[in-house]
Each structure stands twice: as structure tokens, then as C-alpha cells.
Copies of this chain bind each other. A is one copy, B any other.
């Protein structure tokens, strides 16, 4: 079997005895080509199974109509949902997306950025890695003149457009809700507060304490962990064994909340009678465990959509000077479930 080479506009031009530029214009519906010729060309293109070579086109036009996405983990529901949102908007506008995972590693993130820039993406939507401590690789990329926007997570020191949620506000709401249940002491499981989202959520908790006039010294304990089931499980176990007193757990994501709930139940605590448990992000699983867990719904798909819209806008805006970097904040929503409702 010979190696079938793919059909080019030159092949079509040769067959029709016309110039390839005319073929190109005909296929792109350019007014300089007569309707008659267009029809002939388009028919022949279909007949010959012509498929435009995006590489060649992109090279010539200096744009790839592609948006790069970098997320920590595509297996996380929040991110895969956000990606879906980005994809949807991107496709609507005729853009493709390339998805990369940083696995929360700064190295990989830098590599991903490089790959995307080499692929000449028109823009990058980035939700930075937890471990991102230096911002060199991002700064350098921004010098290359292709826009990099943040979504969900962001880096304070980098000034660019971001699409985020009002974590701080909703975190405060959740904390107020817990306090309103009359708890003695709140235990918080947080992620690295160098990460914007965790920082904001913690600040929200302090806001709630301040507003309630409560003393964080005596009524709040906090521990930083890797926010997954196992580490949360372990952290709670240690607290219980050390007889640390608390009667509510606020974990900064749902997986940690589930791990905490499991650990507490194994130790014989009843949720919510003995201890309240709350999470964050509204993973589908949160409402399926027993009891269903109070959490915060973040509009992942909307974040993705908006971020995509914004960067596409930016790409297509010829006069870049009028585009300042802005911060779009989407509302998140407190979802109260059984796990934090004290029975009367």
C-alpha cells in the first residue's frame, strides 16, 4: 500500500487548470472569486476529499486558532468541568484547545507553557500549580506577547486578567453558618495558603469570626495538609487521639471533608449530632455520602466559559492597548446539607 499523500489546493488547481490562489480564495469564500468558480472548486474539493492543512494555514497566518489550557489535574471534577466550559466557548468561536496537566508541579507547568508557546497557541488559560513559588516562567512567557490569563487559581504577583470565584465571601458565609449552629470550636483543614484559593477561604473564616466578635485563639484550630481523603483521615485521627476538642470540621475541599467524616464516624462520632462537617467545591460525591456534606458550589463550567470568552476577546481585539487586565469574580453558592444541620 503506497503512502497516500493528502490532497492540497495545488492538486485541486492542477485538476481544474486554475491557479492555487484561486482555489484558496474559492474555498475561503473570498469575494474576488466568481460564484461559478467557487462552486466548481468546492465541488471538486469535496470530490477529492480535500482537507485543509491547518499547519500550513496557521504558519502563514501566524495564528493557530488554538487556546492552551493548563490545569493541575484533569481528573479533578472541578477542572474537567471548567475545561468543558472552555472547550464549548472555544469551539463556538472557531478555536481548538490543547489541554495540559501540571500535576501541581512547577517544572511541568513551565514545560507545558513552553510546549504551548512552541505550538504557537494564541493564548493560554492557566490555573497554576500549588507548588508554583517562582513566577519566572510565567513572566517570561508573558513577554512573548501571547496572553496568559488565570482561572480559578491565580498568582497575586502576576498582573493579568483572571476569572475567579468569590471564595472569601462564600467561605465566610459557610463559617457563619457553622457558628450559627452554636459550635464550641471549629477545626479547619486547609491546603497550602500560598495558593490563592486556600488563602482566600481561610481569610473568609477569619472574616466570619471577626464579624461574630469571636476569638479565633480559643475557638479555631487549623492544620495545613494535602487535601485528600487519606491525609484528612489521618489528621482527624491524630486530633481525636490527642483529645483535641472541636465539634465542627471545615475542610477546604470535599475530598478532605469526606476523609474527615469517615475518620470521625469510625471513631464513633455521629455527624452532624456530635460534629459538623463541611467541604468545598460541591463534587458530585459530596451529596452521595452519608450524611450528605455541606459544601460550596463553584460554577466551574461558567468560570471556564467566561475565561475562554475573555481570552478570545483579547486575542481578537486588534488594539491591545485598550485592554487592561481585569478580575472577574463569579458567585459561588453555599449548599447546606445534612452534615452541618444540628437536629433541634
Please list the residues of chain A having a beta carbon within 8 angstroms of any beta carbon in chain B: 1, 3-4, 6, 49, 51-56, 58-59, 64, 73-75, 77, 80-81, 83-84, 87, 96-99, 101, 114-115, 117-120, 140, 143-145, 229, 258, 262, 284-285, 288-290, 320-321
**A4 surroundings in chain B (CB, below 8 A):** 143-145
**Tally of this chain's copies:** 2
**A117 surroundings in chain B (CB, below 8 A):** 51
A6 in contact with B84 (CB, 8 Å): no
Given pairs A53-B118, A74-B74, 6 additional interface contacts (CB within 8 A): A4-B145, A51-B118, A53-B59, A55-B119, A73-B84, A75-B80
A120 in contact with B285 (CB, 8 Å): no
Indicate the member of A99, A288, A289 with the most B CB atoms within 10 Å.
A288
**A262 surroundings in chain B (CB, below 8 A):** 288
Nearest CB in chain B: distance from A88 CB, A:
9
A51 in contact with B288 (CB, 8 Å): no
**A74 surroundings in chain B (CB, below 8 A):** 74, 80, 83-84, 99
- The one of B59, B96, B144, B320 in contact with A59, judged by C-beta atoms closer than 8 angstroms, is B59
**A101 surroundings in chain B (CB, below 8 A):** 84, 87
B96 in contact with A99 (CB, 8 Å): no
**A81 surroundings in chain B (CB, below 8 A):** 75
How far apart sit A52 and B115, CA to CA, in the bound complex (Å)? 10
Q: Which 4 A-B pairs have the closest CB atoms?
A: A75-B80, A285-B285, A290-B290, A55-B59
How far apart sit A229 and B285, CA to CA, in the bound complex (Å)? 11
Closest B residue to A289 by CB, please name it: B288
**A258 surroundings in chain B (CB, below 8 A):** 288
Closest B residue to A98 by CB, please name it: B98
A and B contact pairs by CB, cutoff 8 A, 9 listed: A54-B118, A55-B58, A55-B119, A73-B84, A74-B74, A74-B99, A87-B101, A96-B115, A290-B290
A320 in contact with B1 (CB, 8 Å): yes
How far apart sit A120 and B140, CA to CA, in the bound complex (Å)? 29
**A120 surroundings in chain B (CB, below 8 A):** 53-55
**A145 surroundings in chain B (CB, below 8 A):** 3-4, 6
Nearest CB in chain B: distance from A5 CB, A:
9
How far apart sit A51 and B144, CA to CA, in the bound complex (Å)? 10
How far apart sit A320 and B83, CA to CA, in the bound complex (Å)? 36
- The one of B6, B49, B98 in contact with A96, judged by C-beta atoms closer than 8 angstroms, is B98
**A87 surroundings in chain B (CB, below 8 A):** 101
A114 in contact with B51 (CB, 8 Å): yes
- The one of B64, B99, B289 in contact with A99, judged by C-beta atoms closer than 8 angstroms, is B99
